[in-house]
Amino acid sequence: QLQLAESGGGLVQPGGSLRLSCAASGLTMDYYDIGWFRQPPGKEREGVSCISGGGGTAYYSNSVKGRATISRDNAKSTAFLHLSDVNAEDAGVYFCAAGQGPVGLVEAMCMDPRHISGTEIWRVWGKGTLITVSS
């Protein structure tokens, strides 16, 4: 049974950077696409970035494009999200998830609320890690 655990949350200053890790256990993660999602206070969960199983394809939301880098090390069963120039809109609970799409990773899997609101595509979710942005 695949399980995911996020780490790296905490307090980040505006303009600073964050690095989150998503560690898989139970099963190898290389077959799965990995997504990072976040839920700002009082708002719905949104897609941030996703990466294909082999690492060859990645997508980023408009809000983080140019500031974020998603990566994975399948040998270590860990995926990462690095986000620089953090602002208040980046605050919230960050989740990682493992998924399998019918035709591989496509952008809609990562960004369409219909796909990220349940577990039909993103089958396994971590419990989340909180990012607080404050000076």
Q: What is the pLDDT of residues 37-83, one digit of tens each?
A: 999 999 999 999 999 999 999 999 999 999 999 999 999 999 999 99
Q: What is the pLDDT of residue 56?
A: 94
Using 50, 70 and 90 to split pLDDT, how confident is the model at 120?
confident
Q: Are 133 and 12 in contact (CB under 8 A)?
A: yes
Q: Which two tokens stand for residue 21?
A: 């890790």
Q: Are 22 and 126 in contact (CB under 8 A)?
A: yes
DSSP letters, 68-131, are: EEEEEEGGGTEEEEEE-S--GGG-EEEEEEEE--BTB--HHHHH-HHHHSSSSSEEEE---EEE
Q: Which two tokens stand for residue 101?
A: 């799409």
Using 50, 70 and 90 to split pLDDT, how confident is the model at 84?
very high
DSSP 8-class letter at 34: E
What are the pLDDT digits (tens) for 3-26?
A: 999 999 999 999 999 999 999 999
**Burial label, 30 (beta-carbon count in 10 A; 0-12, 13-18, 19+):** middle
What are the pLDDT digits (tens) for 91-118?
A: 999 999 999 878 889 999 999 988 888 8
Tokens 């995926």 belong to 79
